[in-house]
Amino acid sequence: MAKTKTGQVILILAAMMLLVVPLAVFVSSPAQPKLADRMSEQSVKQALTEAFGHRSYVLLVLGFFTCGFQLAFVTVHFQRYVVESGLGASVGYWAFGLVGIFNIVGSLTSGWAGTRIPRRWILSFIYIARALVTLAFIMLPISSFSAYAFGALTGLLWLSTVPPTSSLIGMMFGPRHFAMLYGFAFFSHQVGGFLGVLLGGVLREQSGSYTIVWWLSIGLGVASALINLPIVERPVQRNLSPAAA
């Protein structure tokens, strides 16, 4: 029965994904490139050289690694941690459901705040807040309430890193190579996610608990909070030319 329901859910998800194709037509833009973009015809190589030679971009990419590590670890291992702590499986999936609900609030709030205060401050706050929330969760006696509170607070901080991260990249380098440059930042995020899932399993098996990985997540959160503070929020200075060599 469980396999049948899983198959049905996958088919529904696949059908919803198919809707993306026709809907994508309505978000495409035939607009002409801006004058600055026409004047600065950067090649991919030039764009990558510029980005990875830019200190603020490198710091942003490094900080995004932590986001992936924390999110993937919680996604895969949180519910097992809850059960191993003596709570029912239902507590784990309800708590994780709260992550999804509160993520909507957190992401929208982060995007709104990014138009009013420096984005590097937002990112630093998110990473240090994640570290503090995790610290409180593992240090206090675990209960249904603490699991639900962790889910709600983690949800507020879940994908709230994306609006300031993506907007900083757009601010620094403009729209021409934005998708590629954000893609490299997201690659760092996914490498962090891979390690979060892998180390969560490996260290759990070796040590018998998730304690080491929780503390590693806290340490990475503090490090990323500090890494994002020196980011300079202004466009790169480049000499515009009619055509790039």
The 3-class secondary structure across 121-172, one letter per residue, is HHHHHHHHHHHHHHHHHHHCCCCHHHHHHHHHHHHHCCCCCHHHHHHHHHHH
Provide the residue range defining the domain that includes 177. Answer: 53-228
Across residues 66-94, what is the average pLDDT?
94
Residue 236 lies in a domain: no
Residue 172 lies in a domain: yes
Q: What is the pLDDT of residue 39?
A: 42
Residue carrying the six token digits 């490094």: 62
DSSP letter (8 states) at residue 53: T
Across residues 195-218, what is the average pLDDT?
95
Handedness of CA 38, 39, 41, 42 (dihedral sign): negative
- Looking up residue 101, the CATH number of its domain turns out to be 1.20.1250.20
Residue 22 lies in a domain: no
Our count of domains for the chain comes to 1
Residue 166 lies in a domain: yes
Residue 26 lies in a domain: no
- Residue 35 predicted with pLDDT over 90: no
Q: What is the pLDDT of residue 28?
A: 59
Q: Which are the contacts of 203, defined by CB distance < 8 A and separation ≥ 6? A: 210, 212, 213
- Ramachandran category for residue 234: left, alpha or beta (phi over 0 → left; psi -120 to 50 → alpha): beta
Q: How many CA atoms lie within 13 A of 160 on its CB side?
A: 32
Q: Residue 14: which pLDDT band, with cuts at 50, 70 and 90?
A: confident
Provide the whole-model pTM.
0.84
Q: Residue 243: which pLDDT band, with cuts at 50, 70 and 90?
A: very low
Phi, psi of 114 (to 5 degrees): -65, -15
Q: Residue 43: which pLDDT band, with cuts at 50, 70 and 90?
A: confident
Q: Residue 241: which pLDDT band, with cuts at 50, 70 and 90?
A: low
Residue 159, classified by CB atoms within 10 Å of its CB into exposed (0-12), middle (13-18) or buried (19+), is middle
Cβ proximity of 106 and 160 under 8 Å:
yes
When the pLDDT of each residue in the chain is averaged and rounded to a whole number, the result is: 89
Residue 40 lies in a domain: no
Residue 182, classified by CB atoms within 10 Å of its CB into exposed (0-12), middle (13-18) or buried (19+), is buried
Q: Residue 104: which pLDDT band, with cuts at 50, 70 and 90?
A: very high
Residue 150 lies in a domain: yes
